[in-house]
Structure 1
């Protein structure tokens, strides 16, 4: 007799005010497996997660846990059933200690007061089970995000966790921290915990997933078994061949638009780079190599100590963000939520922020809000931003749509050079295709484009030339057929020029 799957999702549908978010979704999650859930933004992943963890109820269909049909009245019911969720936006109380955060919701009491000794013991046991060692009395807000992620997982595993749902767990982690987390996830699966792993990072799915289920437009497409074929997964997600993802026209580059000569700063040493009109220049490197610092120095966010920056023939003595924007250089930061958006304000305001005068949406010093909204709406249509509810607060949009709002800034003014820093981190495949199309269109229009990315496939797919950085220096400059993953990776570890 075949054992029941841990979770059986059968014909689940969910409607919101006439909008169908999920339609007849069915798949199973087995005990002790890492089951990846993939799909574009808007595919229905978040809705399904919220149904599993008791935030929403399905409009139709059923969910069975260990063979018994379940209907949760709220998240607490889901937790009692052993379903725990760690969302992408961490729920840490910065002022509380590590141990206090781990015990939130289940504080041990003694005579009506918190039993601190027992709390510390339980927190230590929870972290030990993850193979993690964090200072229990330290303020959680003082620790790096990777440690905060471990606190969330430790809290989720308090008690008997049967299904752990991880929503984009490595989206804000560096390479080493991501590897540590993946190791912890595989260890939990070996202990019998089922993992529903939601991510846009294909290499993570290939590394750890036993199976992957794909959603598209709210519908279940297919469950695929390991070993994973990235091209097939992408095709299932976007409904077209994976080869269509990268946009890369053949162009003849023109004059030099950005020239960096011997640039030195607190983190950069003798960096030289050129960007010509009509080309895409990739900058690759490991975490901490200085590639993001290069863009920030060019934009005037980091002080320059040595060398020079020339923009379209003009030597810039002291670059500043306002001055560089005025001269036609636009920088798109990697951390869109912290540096690119005002999360509590409407999305259209984040799109136009800093561009009111060049976009001509002011009159006699006053902002014309109707004109602002109309302009933002027009650009949002170009970028295929969904849903087109631009008066919603920025924080309520998906990562891909938030990124499109940041990228809209380049459409608000006359730009010559675009510096994209990790432009597709934490966004889905469909949104990536839109970003790549925008990059290619800028180059076709004669703009100079720099793409800074930790994704080698992305760098190779969009770039005409590639600079590789190591320890704050340029370690290699690759062109043509030399732009390969092997050559880039070798340059990560080769000695940088003295």
Structure 2
């Protein structure tokens, strides 16, 4: 890689922010925040969704100008920072929401705005070679010639990371970078981070995953309600300390005790194969009164399985039964009418209409019901009343249902989607990566919501790449590998060791 970093001055921070404040209409997103990052250090930003982390990294990367405070980088005071200037001085962000152009190739996205040219003519050969060299050095399984909209989310994440490291980097910002990566790719990223630190690059790392903080962090800064709460040495701070500082309260138990009482088979899948081949000959069932987990590496087919059940991905073979009755392949609308709900992992692309109010986003799956519409006409008063009750129950904060969904944190966006489950009679709930991108406090609320569903007799299916999550929540657990069921585990067999063994086994046979 081209000079990924240069050793910074050891007597002064690489980045030094003092008293940074930022206001939006009616909201004080940052309130006098201090932060410093040293060359060769990984500094974690830790806080609940809505604590101000995203606003702060947008200030650092030049997207938002601060209203108050001082900004020093490399010993110089910085004014009127723009994203272009930030990259020019070596500040390179990788945001959780991708900034790629879907219709362009990986290679074109890497060089967008910094093309290699001579005499006004693009040097495509040199750019292609440079892209290939960088991707090889990163160890990513990524084809530079592929269009971005043909890539999985994991490969789009790799593209964003490669784009950030193409130029000269002095400060790298990583916002939930492992959310879409496999274990192997995550391990490769961690190796890269160690290399960058030895070369003097400073890193700001946003994550809710305690294991990553333990593995990587030198220091942790905790934000809450837009304020700087404390900066701690990672080695001396316990998980409990960090969570209490983040939330302002003790969280003794992350995963609630769920009283599984398995009843009749509600959802049954036999020999299911999808048109794209991501799922091949899968047999699977979920019972009322329990959580059925599906684990597997990114790309194993677990997400595609629930998408096919819901009617998003096409099925070419096999059968889906609800309450013992075979159902024809249909779309999401028919699935909802049959009592099946789906909560996608990608809340931005598939889950929410970000430019529309919370009220509309939560009611949109129930507008065929008489309580919300009559003779094709919406009943706005009934809609507002119902959604207000739902959002109060889910503890949406602030409880303004007329705010656009795009203004919400990740945890509140998930609550808006969960609200749909309370607007109509549903019996089957399909959750795909339910805790991705949300903080510890919001995770606890999502898990309690699932517990409530189980207690009311629903069949809950949880797809997750987070092993502790899917092991703790599920009563039975399927492990998928290369599009097939590699194992079905329950009771004492439901262990991390058995799941990991199933991730990598040959799938010559399918579990009974």
* TM-score category of the 2 structures, normalised to the smaller one: 0.7 to 0.9
Match of 2:171 in 1: 163
Specify the SS of the correspondent of 1:354.
helix
Specify the SS of the correspondent of 1:14.
strand
Name the count of aligned residue pairs: 494
Deviation at 1:154, TM superposition (A): 4.3
Q: Structure 1 residues 130 and 453, CA, compared in 2 at 3 Å: closer, same or farther?
A: closer
Match of 1:443 in 2: 454
Match of 1:331 in 2: 342
1:306 aligns with 2:318: yes
Post-superposition CA distance 1:376-425 (Å, at most 9, x none): 33322222233444444434433222222222221111112222121112
Match of 2:254 in 1: 245
Q: 1:419 aligns with which of 430, 440, 456?
A: 430
Match of 1:186 in 2: 194
Trace 1:393-404 onto structure 2 (pairs within 5 A).
Answer: 393-404=404-415
State the alpha-carbon separation in 1 of the partners of residues 220 and 213 from structure 2. 8
Trace 1:76-95 onto structure 2 (pairs within 5 A).
Answer: 76-95=84-103
Specify the SS of the correspondent of 2:365.
coil
Give structure 2 stretches of 5+ with no counterpart.
1-8
Q: Structure 1 residues 167 and 317, CA, compared in 2 at 3 Å: closer, same or farther?
A: closer
Q: Structure 1 residues 215 and 391, CA, compared in 2 at 3 Å: closer, same or farther?
A: same
Match of 2:44 in 1: 36
TM-score by length of 1: 0.86
Match of 2:474 in 1: 463
Specify the SS of the correspondent of 2:252.
helix
**Residue pair 2:103, 2:148 contacting (<8 A) in 1 also:** yes
Q: 1:348 aligns with which of 332, 345, 359?
A: 359
**Residue pair 1:166, 1:198 contacting (<8 A) in 2 also:** yes
1:381 aligns with 2:392: yes
State the alpha-carbon separation in 2 of the partners of residues 178 and 389 from structure 1. 38
Post-superposition CA distance 1:29-83 (Å, at most 9, x none): 1112222212111111011112212233334433322333333343334334322
Trace 1:209-220 onto structure 2 (pairs within 5 A).
Answer: 209-220=217-228
Post-superposition CA distance 1:312-365 (Å, at most 9, x none): xx4124253444322322222233333322334333322222311236211211
Match of 1:357 in 2: 368
Specify the SS of the correspondent of 1:348.
helix
Deviation at 1:123, TM superposition (A): 5.0
**Residue pair 1:359, 1:412 contacting (<8 A) in 2 also:** no
Post-superposition CA distance 1:264-285 (Å, at most 9, x none): 3242435243413x32232223
State the alpha-carbon separation in 1 of the partners of residues 491 and 474 from structure 2. 10
Greater alpha carbon shift after TM alignment, 75-84 vs 135-144: 135-144
Match of 2:440 in 1: 429
State the alpha-carbon separation in 1 of the partners of residues 483 and 129 from structure 2. 43
Post-superposition CA distance 1:4-42 (Å, at most 9, x none): 121123333333345322233223211122222121111
Specify the SS of the correspondent of 1:281.
strand
State the alpha-carbon separation in 1 of the partners of residues 164 and 440 from structure 2. 29
Greater alpha carbon shift after TM alignment, 344-353 vs 466-475: 466-475
State the alpha-carbon separation in 2 of the partners of residues 268 and 237 from structure 1. 43
1:208 aligns with 2:216: yes
Trace 1:139-158 onto structure 2 (pairs within 5 A).
Answer: 139-158=147-166
Q: Structure 1 residues 124 and 469, CA, compared in 2 at 3 Å: closer, same or farther?
A: closer
**Residue pair 1:131, 1:184 contacting (<8 A) in 2 also:** no
Specify the SS of the correspondent of 1:244.
coil
Match of 1:19 in 2: 27
Deviation at 1:213, TM superposition (A): 2.0
1:69 aligns with 2:74: no
Q: Structure 1 residues 147 and 469, CA, compared in 2 at 3 Å: closer, same or farther?
A: closer
Deviation at 1:102, TM superposition (A): 2.7
Trace 1:219-230 onto structure 2 (pairs within 5 A).
Answer: 219-227=227-235, 229-230=238-239
Q: Structure 1 residues 387 and 263, CA, compared in 2 at 3 Å: closer, same or farther?
A: farther
State the alpha-carbon separation in 2 of the partners of residues 59 and 86 from structure 1. 24
Match of 1:255 in 2: 263
Give the root-mean-square deviation of aligned CA atoms. 3.2
